[in-house]
Amino acid sequence: MDEQLLQRLQPDAVLFVGDFSDGDLRLTRRLRELPFPVALILGNHDRGRDKSGGVLRQQLALVKDVDCGWRRLDLHPLPLSVVGGRPCSSGGGYHLSKAVEAVYGPITLEQSVERIVAAAASVPTDQPLVLMAHCGPSGLGSDPSSPCGRDWKTPAVDWGDQDLALALDRISRTRVPDLVIFGHMHHQLKRGSGLRTSLLRDRRGIVYLNAACVPRSGTNDRGETLLHLSWAEFSGGHLSHLSHRWYRPDGTLVHQELLPELESLTC
């Protein structure tokens, strides 16, 4: 996270999809104190190596006002809220770690789905419907380069969250979500085998953003430092722009990767 870059860009809100550290609370405190509306969901690394749930409880105590896990979070004063998926997911269908069970209890697959669906149903119809999770849903492909495809072990399989996929199916029966944001599955594939698909629109019209560009800073072929942000804009309550952007530290936009299919949504 580059706070100086955010100060220069002045976004309306900042969303974080988890894995801030291996249980270290210092960065979590910094995220909570940013001078912007903030929403976050904790990732599997944020619970640390503590199976008792003690570290996770400390994290949740720090972020209780900005955490969207399994609930709707309003981003005041914006006319915007986000709906959170299952906290601390590590992908691969449906599984609760011992730390998550210690804190939340033995939440079943169906209970997780119901929590996500109920939170989405409470979003006002004049606001965008935005869901945020640590790992994306299953059903987006089983190739290594799919948005949630397993690339670190053969054979490649769909490593998305089953509960999020089921929730999206049910939500879409009455209202198609505008945007689903997640991380966990790094853009750079293992063993130098390319990049995964990170911007996608499915047949229902749901747009997906995998924001896990790791690391978020690097250098181009001229030796310039570049910083990555994923960027979304809404107009008239609907998604109008989605991209990955690379900035110089002074806020100059150097390059962006757009979702071409979004043009048909805004015509």
Query: Taking residues 258-267, what's their average pLDDT?
Result: 64
Comparing 1-5, 96-100, 118-122, the range with the smallest average pLDDT is 1-5
Best CA proximity match to 167, nearest among 75, 73, 94: 94
pLDDT at residue number 1:
59
pLDDT for 41 equals 97
* Top-confidence residue, 30 or 52: 52
Q: Tens of pLDDT along 100-136?
A: 999 999 999 999 999 999 999 999 999 999 999 999 9
DSSP codes, 92-158: SBS---HHHHHHH----HHHHHHHHHHHHHTS-TTS--EEE-SS-BS-S--STTSTTB--SSSSP-B
> At residue 8, what are phi and psi to the nearest 5 degrees?
-70, -40
Q: What is the mean pLDDT of residues 64-69?
A: 96
Residue extents of the structural domains in the chain: 3-217
Alpha-carbon span 245 to 90, nearest angstrom: 26
This prediction has a pTM of 0.95
C-alpha to C-alpha distance for 128 and 120, rounded to whole angstroms: 11
Please state whether the peptide bond connecting residue 79 to the residue before it is cis, i.e. omega within 30 degrees of 0.
Answer: no
d(CA 161, CA 89): 8
**pLDDT above 90 coverage of the chain, percent:** 84
Query: Across all residues in the chain, what is the average pLDDT?
Result: 94
Report residue 266's pLDDT band, with 50, 70 and 90 as the boundaries: very low
Gap between the Cα atoms of 45 and 183, Å rounded: 12
- Look at residue 27 in the predicted model and tell me its pLDDT: 86
Whether the per-residue pLDDT at 199 is higher than 50: the answer is yes
How is residue 228 written in tokens? 């990555």
Check if CATH label 3.30.750.180 holds for domain 3-217.
Answer: yes
Residue 265 has pLDDT above 60, yes or no: no
**Amino acid at the residue 10:** Q
Q: What is the pLDDT of residue 26?
A: 87
Please name which of 50, 49, 41, 51 lies closest in space to residue 20, comparing C-alpha atoms.
41
Provide mean pLDDT across the span 139-153: 96
Query: In sequence order, which residues have a C-beta less than 8 Å from that of residue 78 and are 6 or more positions away?
Result: 12, 13, 37
Q: Is the pLDDT of residue 206 over 70?
A: yes
Confidence tier at 221 by pLDDT (50, 70, 90): confident
How many whole angstroms separate alpha carbon 55 and alpha carbon 75? 26
